[in-house]
Structure 1
Amino acid sequence: MNNLRIGIGFDSHQIENGDAMTLGGIKISCNYKIIAHSDGDVITHAICDALLGAAHLGDLGSFVPDDDSTKNLSSLVILENIMNKLAELNMKVINIDSTFVGNVPRLEPYKNKMELKLAEVIDIDPDKVSCKATTTDGMGPEGRNEGISAYASVLLEKTK
């Protein structure tokens, strides 16, 4: 019997003038902020969505209610809760690949920190977490600095 499961996740949020945003669990100083109910960390949200999909637990919107109890909630707390649920189901993360889409902020100086932070919360080796970034060459909301998005794929293994 095959015990491997693949999940694909996506998240996007609008942005506006501000002074910082959190991506991959790392607060990054920039001239924008994310418009969101929680902290709006699109990278961590996409990873969470992929984990939930791979485990057949629905999507992020069904796992985290959009109410006062989750207002300004750290996405790392959401990720921790999902990891606890995966542990209950005897599932472990094999690897994660994520791609941030947006002109701002430039992520190159932060990618390693994001991978380390996410790996710490997920409890896997940092070399099993990949954070990449790309632009849309001026196309779409990301290209017009109206929004940002992220995609993620994960591989899970059911251990029992």
Structure 2
Amino acid sequence: MADNGMIVTRVGFGEDSHAFVRDLVSLQAEHNVSVLSADYITLAGAKINTPLKLQANSDGDVVLHAVCRALQTLSGREVLGEIADKRVQAGHFDSAYFVNLALQDLYAQTSTVYRCWRNLYISQIALQIEAAAPKLSPYYAEMKSNIVRIFNSSPVTTEYPLTVEQVGISAMSGEGLTAVGSGKGIAVRALVTVCTEIEM
């Protein structure tokens, strides 16, 4: 850090949820059948074998969607929603694509709006997953590695690459106390912590 600067930490929060599909046939007209009819769900890029299917018009990666929303709270520009819907219509179903868009927005904001900021880097990603099923702990390592790969392969560059030690994942069943805890879907809450150096 330069003598005339100081480190500032900011935290973005994101939350997302997807319901499990109960009647695939009735949803064929609304959703991408090739995604919904797969024999797995995708969470943080990990393909998890399960008979359950998540209702979504993309790959349904609720973990990456929550991360994307956390990045949006830092950049102030929404990616999920109208922008994502148009990208899905153009054939972009991979949620890593949307995370990359959100990262680019964050770094662009840093360089154009906050000109006194420099050396922006991600210091931590914390994820809390609520799902009655399937069991997710066997996939934690793969999910962390995928998140690190997505962040470090982004078109934007940083002096400090993300490591698996900076990604934390915890899952809970919900104990039947909520709709998600009763097995109706998956919900994820994400915190993304970034550090920047500010010129004084």
Does the TM-score normalized on the shorter chain lie above 0.5?
yes
SS of aligned partner of 2:174: coil
Question: For the Cα contact (< 8 Å) 2:79–2:101, is it kept in 1?
Answer: no
Unaligned runs of 5+ in 1: none
Does 1:13 pair with 2:13? no
Between structure 1 and structure 2, the one with the greater Rg is 2
Distance in 2, Cα, partners of 1:26 & 1:117: 7
Distance in 2, Cα, partners of 1:95 & 1:147: 26
SS of aligned partner of 1:157: strand
The Cα of 1:113 is off from its aligned counterpart by 0.5
The Cα of 1:158 is off from its aligned counterpart by 3.4
Query: Percent identity over the alignment?
Result: 27
Do the aligned partners of residues 6 and 25 (structure 1) sit closer, same or farther apart at CA in structure 2, a change above 3 Å counting?
Answer: same
What residue is the counterpart of 1:56 in the other structure? 76
Give 1:119's aligned amino acid.
Answer: V
The Cα of 1:37 is off from its aligned counterpart by 1.2
Unaligned runs of 5+ in 2: 1-5, 23-36, 112-119, 153-161
Alignment of 1:26-45 (within 5 A): 26-45=46-65
What residue is the counterpart of 2:173 in the other structure? 135
What residue is the counterpart of 2:158 in the other structure? none
What residue is the counterpart of 1:104 in the other structure? 133
Cα deviation digits, residues 54-98 of structure 1 (max 9, x gap):
222246325523675366611111112222333333542111000
SS of aligned partner of 1:145: helix
Do the aligned partners of residues 71 and 149 (structure 1) sit closer, same or farther apart at CA in structure 2, a change above 3 Å counting?
Answer: farther
The Cα of 1:23 is off from its aligned counterpart by 0.4
Number of residue pairs aligned between Structure 1 and Structure 2: 160
Taking structure 1 as the reference length, what is the TM-score of the superposition?
0.87
Over aligned residue pairs, what C-alpha RMSD do you find?
2.3
Do the aligned partners of residues 68 and 46 (structure 1) sit closer, same or farther apart at CA in structure 2, a change above 3 Å counting?
Answer: closer
Does 1:80 pair with 2:100? yes
Distance in 2, Cα, partners of 1:43 & 1:149: 8
Alignment of 1:110-121 (within 5 A): 110-121=139-150
Distance in 1, Cα, partners of 2:65 & 2:141: 18
Distance in 2, Cα, partners of 1:99 & 1:150: 6
Higher strand fraction (1 or 2) = 1
Distance in 2, Cα, partners of 1:51 & 1:159: 18
Cα deviation digits, residues 86-126 of structure 1 (max 9, x gap):
33335421110001111111101100110011011112111
Question: For the Cα contact (< 8 Å) 1:38–1:70, is it kept in 2?
Answer: no
What residue is the counterpart of 2:190 in the other structure? 152
The Cα of 1:27 is off from its aligned counterpart by 0.9
Does 1:94 pair with 2:132? no
